[in-house]
Structure 1
Amino acid sequence: MEHTLRLAQQPEADALLGRSPLAALVGMLLDQQVPMEWAFSGPYTIAQRLGTDDLDARVIAAYDPDAFAALLSEKPAVHRYPGSMAQRVQQLCQYLVATYDGDAAAVWTGVADGTDLLGRLRALPGFGEQKAKIFLALLGKQLGVQPAGWRSAAGVYGEEGSFRSVADITGPDSLTKVRAHKQQAKAAAKAAKSAKPGPRRA
């Protein structure tokens, strides 16, 4: 089943994210230290360079590591750190092949509840606690994956009507709101850090 996503802000790249569970996972994996649109357009760029319209976990898992790194490093690069991210994408795909027979959607198919789903996402290479919760929220809010307790398992990212993460982005307006929230959070964290008292002098 295809879904409409607006994360890459490019029709072809967003279409791939909406129809390919693996593309959505890879986009989420790439979403760090680069603008969101850059990260989520990455799966489409990778598919194009592989000469296909989709991503196949088995193909990527078995790809020569040096050649795959070179693929992601071509201009324009898929990520600010294409070499290390190429390795992470391959590790993710190798895990999916070993654990889910290469079927990315099987990560969330038939889960018992939101906590079970969060555990599966956290087990994915490259997915820490926060990334797992954000992706869980994306699944629930935009991809129709809503096991019992999914909002609770996603924490603040599962809140209805929030604008905290990629899970809440459905177009330019919501993208602006999420960016504003992140800037406010970053400013608050910086202010809190500078407000901490320094070490006492003897």
Structure 2
Amino acid sequence: MTRVYLSTDPQADELLTDDRFALLVGMLLDQQVPMETAFTGPKKLVDRLDTFSASAIAALDPDELLAAFKETPAVHRFPGSMATRVQAMAQAVVDDYDGNAEAIWTASATDSNPPTGKEVLRRLKALPGFGDQKAKIFLALLGKQFGLQAEGWREAAGDYGPEDAFRSIADVVDEASLARVRETKKALKAAAKKSK
């Protein structure tokens, strides 16, 4: 698999490519900050903490995690609330998937059938900090850049599923596609403002 281009930082992108929990954390952080800032967050945490995994974050003293979030440069512009959300999500991954983030989209659903796109979306939406839109964007990211084979994932991802959508981080593979996503978001915001 080629390295993703989500943070625009080669080391951070290498982590996101190789570590599914880091990828999940990056997606969780992707709100009210630029996409690149959000997806650089997991690398900052790896550099600041002794260990970085769902089980390690879930078990960490909340004050220690908060200190790692606040260290300059901060992981997120809202370090307190985001540290709490990341820890809650890590605990959910531990409780529901034995600490294996990738199991969210690969573990057998029923009768040992792989999960469908609809089921993966349901599982993502059940995670702390993942609403409908974030879950659909992450599902599209998994399908477009991480080879997700779940049946019906494009349909479940809604507007983010089409190959040429350029609506979210799921479509960012280089600087040109990042610019296209930003243009699309700007146009959608302008249209929404105009319709009010």
Q: Which residue of 2 aligns with 1:14?
A: 13
Q: Give me the whole-angstrom Cα distance separating, in 2, the residues matched to 1:76 and 1:116.
A: 37
Q: Give me the whole-angstrom Cα distance separating, in 2, the residues matched to 1:182 and 1:117.
A: 25
Q: Please tell me whether the aligned partners of residues 3 and 17 of structure 2 are also in contact (alpha carbons under 8 angstroms).
A: yes
Question: Which among 97, 103, 107 is matched to residue 94 of structure 2?
Answer: 97
Q: Which residue of 2 aligns with 1:66?
A: 63
Q: Give me the whole-angstrom Cα distance separating, in 1, the residues matched to 2:2 and 2:86.
A: 23
Identity of aligned residues (%): 57
Q: Which residue of 2 aligns with 1:28?
A: 27
Task: Describe the superposition over 1:172-196 as per-residue Cα deviations: whole angstroms up to 9, x where unpaired.
Answer: 0000000000000111111111xxx
Q: CA deviation at 1:3?
A: 4.8
Structure 1, unaligned runs of 5 or more: 194-202
RMSD across aligned C-alpha pairs, in angstroms?
1.0
Q: Which residue of 1 aligns with 2:111?
A: none
Q: Give me the whole-angstrom Cα distance separating, in 2, the residues matched to 1:57 and 1:108.
A: 16
Give 1:1-202 correspondences, 5 Å limit: 3-52=2-51, 55-109=52-106, 110=108, 111-193=114-196
Task: Describe the superposition over 1:139-178 as per-residue Cα deviations: whole angstroms up to 9, x where unpaired.
Answer: 0000011211110000010011120000000010000000
Q: Which amino acid aligns with 1:106?
A: A
TM-score (norm 2): 0.94
Q: Give me the whole-angstrom Cα distance separating, in 2, the residues matched to 1:83 and 1:126.
A: 14
Q: Give me the whole-angstrom Cα distance separating, in 2, the residues matched to 1:4 and 1:140.
A: 15
Which moves more between the two structures, 103-112 or 158-167? Answer: 103-112
Q: CA deviation at 1:112?
A: 2.6
Q: CA deviation at 1:51?
A: 3.9
> What SS does the aligned partner of 2:72 have?
coil
TM-score (norm 1): 0.92
> What SS does the aligned partner of 1:6 have?
coil
Q: Give me the whole-angstrom Cα distance separating, in 2, the residues matched to 1:158 and 1:188.
A: 21
Task: Describe the superposition over 1:108-128 as per-residue Cα deviations: whole angstroms up to 9, x where unpaired.
Answer: 113431111111111111000
Q: Higher Cα Rg: structure 1 or 2?
A: 1
Q: Give me the whole-angstrom Cα distance separating, in 2, the residues matched to 1:57 and 1:24.
A: 12
Structure 2, unaligned runs of 5 or more: 109-113
> What SS does the aligned partner of 2:151 have?
coil
Q: Please tell me whether the aligned partners of residues 30 and 40 of structure 1 are also in contact (alpha carbons under 8 angstroms).
A: yes
> What SS does the aligned partner of 1:115 have?
helix
Q: Please tell me whether the aligned partners of residues 4 and 173 of structure 2 are also in contact (alpha carbons under 8 angstroms).
A: yes
